Amino acid sequence: MKRSLLPSVEQLRSILMVAKNYSGLLRDVYKAHSDKSMVGMFIINQPVLLVRDPDIIKVILHTEFNCFRAHRELDNKLDPLLSKDPFFQNGHSWKVSRGVFLMAFTSKKLRYLSTIVKNISTMLIHNLDNELIEKNYIDIEAKNFFADFTTSIGVNSLLGIENKSLMEMYVKLFRNMMDNIFEPSLIASLKNNLDFFNPMIGNLLNSGLVPSDINEKFLKIIEDIIEIRKQNGSNKNDILENIIDYEKKFIPNDDVPAHAFSFLVESFETSSVTLSFLFYQLSKHQNVQQKVREEVFRVLEKFDNELNYDTIKEMTYMDQVINESLRMFPSAGRFMKICTEQIELSAANGERCLLTPGDVVTISLEGLHNDPKLWDNPDEFNPERFNRNSMDYKLRHKFIFLPFGSGQRMCPGMRMGLINVKMATATIIQKFIIDSSPKLQLPIKIDNSYFFSRVKGGAWIRFKRL
């Protein structure tokens, strides 16, 4: 791949000042080259091809998947836990790691896990009720609020804890770990920024994406729990026990803590980010919020007021609203693929690019999802875009909306994540009005200094009793 573009001085300054992450840089490059199907660039010394054309994206993710089946791998010594996540693995190791998630998220097990999510959602409502006993409203920072929710789900699903005080202890402990990963110090953020632009930097700094003390603490916690279960002959029906059972057939014993860590990481950040942006949109668009509420009441009446795995599947307008929020604010702003076989990509406009093994290809979801050439009025929040009965939806290119990826390396936790989001939304919207908070900084700006984008100054919303 020939060198064709270098990031500008301003872009590099943003990276060094931790004002912009990889997704933010790619979004800017995507927007700056609206006449191109592909944009070649160097990031530090790493050649990268940014693909803008949906037809070429289809080739990469589906048609010629075998030529782009690899992802970036992490150093096992620097990231002993996260390196076993299927997102960072390839070949046989990827198939085994992905199998852990597929095993954990069968329809039968999702049905069981949805009862846990429902119970945590009920606790969420109880806490809000207590906060509003002597108040007319309460202002809440949505990302922080829903991070407690997703941590509770992750801990309960992973460890099957029934004792309330013990669960609260683990939630606090694991929440602190996740915050240290996803809300790092300025120096750590800079290192992570540079490391994602070029993995050699992490190796030179002898530092992984996850702080070493977190790796050590989590490893000891899971090893101790496994040992206690062996001594007591415990046979719980939780994710950890499922991983242990899977390990007996397919994975090394020392990989169990790593896969438990992956489950917790996957369940924590993306769902809480998605919920924070979704509730911001609901607070801003009261007509949409009311329509979601009416659908929830209508579906619950049909199912004897029972909120469960089956009832949330019936809430199709809520799906539209979630998808529109994910279009405007995808939790992960980009994909990266590594070429594994020589291939020439060609676009309808005549652009061509010859790729060889090792070349890096990337897709900007923030750019793709908000491209005015692909979406009418992309800055407008319009859930009707995702009405499956509309002609616009039926004729739309299938590769311009990719919040969870597509193809064989699609996010394996997608269905579980959507259960979290829909159950929380359905539970809250029955009893509370979500309104705008004066604490929200307007107009909102996206804070790209984090690995997953957030609302700058916080996604502040206001809850009032219905």
Annotated binding-site residues for heme read: 411
Point out the annotated binding site: 411
Pairing relationship of beta strands 460-465 and 432-436 according to DSSP bridges:
antiparallel
| Burial 215-236, CB ≥16 within 10 A → b, else e | bebbbebbeebbeeeeeeeeee
